[in-house]
Amino acid sequence: MASLLHPLTSFSFSPSPPPPISSSSSSTITITCALPSNLRSSDRRRLRTTSKPCTWTSGLPKRSFVLRSTLDEVSVLDPPPPPEDSTAELLSSLKLKLLSAVSGLNRGLAAIEDDLQKADAAAKELEAAGGTVDLSIDLDKLQGRWKLIYSSAFSSRTLGGSRPGPPTGRLLPITLGQVFQRIDIVSKDFDNIVDLQLGAPWPLPPIELTATLAHKFELIGTSSIKITFDKTTVKTTGNLSQLPPLEVPRIPDALRPPSNTGSGEFDVTYLDADTRITRGDRGELRVFVIA
């Protein structure tokens, strides 16, 4: 029958309602063909004389269809969007891939060039799958306490990353503990909280403390944030937790080095209820999970 159809002929299906399934049940599907105006008379006669029901069997209930000619054309429907479950599964898989890429790197302090490239590639896959972040709609997702699990800037072996900061290692016995960001979208507070351990001469135990670098933040685009430094507060923990917090004096602007302006900008490139990726104005990649 296929040889009888003109190459410009379009057709549509009009299935009849399916009957109850049984070994003897059958249904009819009407195929309506649209014949072009320039079709030859001999071809039209061949189509009319051969327009009769046809049946086939494929292990299922018998079905039949009828070929009829008309000038109406079938409309084409767009394919349905992928189900939400498949998108969620993809994002979950890509998040797991990113977490695997940065695990064991001590938040980036132990990262080498190959580690940096793998982490960046995994982050880009998740960013692409998640789409563009719009903080004007999803600002509430920033709210909370976030734990830093990776920073590409820490591969410089300094606590400041790509910005000025004390080095880590034997020259200055500072051990980096957990790093958090505490964000309040109502008060616009944006605090970097860092746990540190300072080495002390033997036999004294190391000094444990928490430094809070307070900032204010503002949106400067749909996915961009600017933070402005306010103050630094240091609070001892552990055996010296009874000591009151100490506010570190701020360096006067006239004495502040050009590389330390007291403000910074970054883009939020991925954001959901438990994972956040940011890229800073100096190219640093940071990955956070909700604490």
Mean pLDDT by 10 residues, the chain (291 residues): 45 48 47 55 56 47 46 55 81 97 94 96 98 96 98 77 54 84 98 93 91 97 95 93 91 68 90 97 94 95
b or e along 216-228 (b: 16 or more beta carbons within 10 Å of the residue's beta carbon)? Answer: ebebeeebbbbbe
Query: 65 near 31, Cβ under 8 Å?
Result: yes
Predicted confidence at residue 100, as pLDDT, reads 97
Predicted confidence at residue 200, as pLDDT, reads 84
The whole model's pTM is what? 0.68
Predicted confidence at residue 79, as pLDDT, reads 66
Predicted confidence at residue 10, as pLDDT, reads 45
Predicted confidence at residue 85, as pLDDT, reads 78
**Which token pair is 66?**
């009828």
- The SS3 assignment for 181 reads strand
Predicted confidence at residue 14, as pLDDT, reads 47
- What's the full length of the chain, in residues? 291
Predicted confidence at residue 249, as pLDDT, reads 86
